[in-house]
Amino acid sequence: MPDVLHAVAQHVEALPHWHVLLLAGWFAYVVLLGGWIVLQKRPPVATLSWLLGLAALPVVGFVVYYVFGPQRIHRQRLRRARNRVALPAGDEHARTGDRPELARLAQATTGLPASTAHEVRLLVDGAATYAALLEAIAQARHHVHLEYYIYSPDRTGTAIRDALVARARAGVAVRLLLDAVGSSACPRRFFDPLVAAGGELAWFHPMRFGRFWQRPWVNLRSHRKIAVIDGAVAFTGGINITDEENEGLRPDAYRDLHLRLTGDIVRSLQLVFVEDWAYATGERGFLSSVAAAMPPPAPGPVAVQALTSGPDSSWEAIHRLNVAAIHAAHRRVWLVTPYFVPSEAALLALTSAALAGLDVRLLVPRRTDSRFVTLAARSWFDELHAAGIKVYEYGQLMLHTKALLVDDSLALVGSANFDLRSFSLNFEVSMLFDDPEVADALARLIEGEFGHAPRVRDDRARPLWTARLPEALARLLAPLL
Residues acting as catalytic residues: 223, 225, 230, 400, 402, 407
With the C-alpha atoms ordered 291, 295, 299, 301, is the resulting torsion angle positive or negative? negative
For 435, half-sphere exposure in the C-beta direction (CA atoms, 13 angstrom radius) is 23
Q: Is 301 helix (H, G, I), strand (E, B) or coil?
A: coil
Judge whether 220 and 421 are in contact, CB under 8 Å: no
Cα–Cα dist 61/215, whole Å: 15
CB of 416 closer than 8 Å to CB of 430? yes
Q: Maximum CA pair distance of the chain?
A: 80
Q: Which residues contact 471 (CB under 8 A, 6 or more apart)?
A: 375, 376, 378, 379
Nearest to 223 by CA among 209, 240, 206, 235: 240
Asked if 301 and 277 touch (Cβ cutoff 8 Å), the reply is: no
C-beta atoms surrounding 371 within 10 Å: 11
**Residue 334 buriedness (CB in 10 A; 0-12 / 13-18 / 19+):** buried
Give the integer Cα–Cα distance in Å for 304 and 307: 10
C-alpha neighbours within 13 Å on the C-beta side of residue 443: 15
Please tell me the number of Cα atoms within 13 Å of 159 on its side-chain side.
Answer: 15
C-alpha 381/C-alpha 369 separation (Å) is 19
Distance of CA 180 to the CA centre of its chain: 15
Q: Which residues contact 230 (CB under 8 A, 6 or more apart)?
A: 139, 140, 141, 142, 143, 144, 293
- Which H or E run contains 145? strand 143-148
What 3-state DSSP class applies to 121? strand
* Integer Cα distance of 475 and 481 in angstroms: 9
210: number of Cβ within 10 Å: 7
Strand ranges for 302-444 from DSSP E: 302-309, 332-336, 340-341, 359-365, 390-394, 403-406, 410-414, 418-419, 428-434
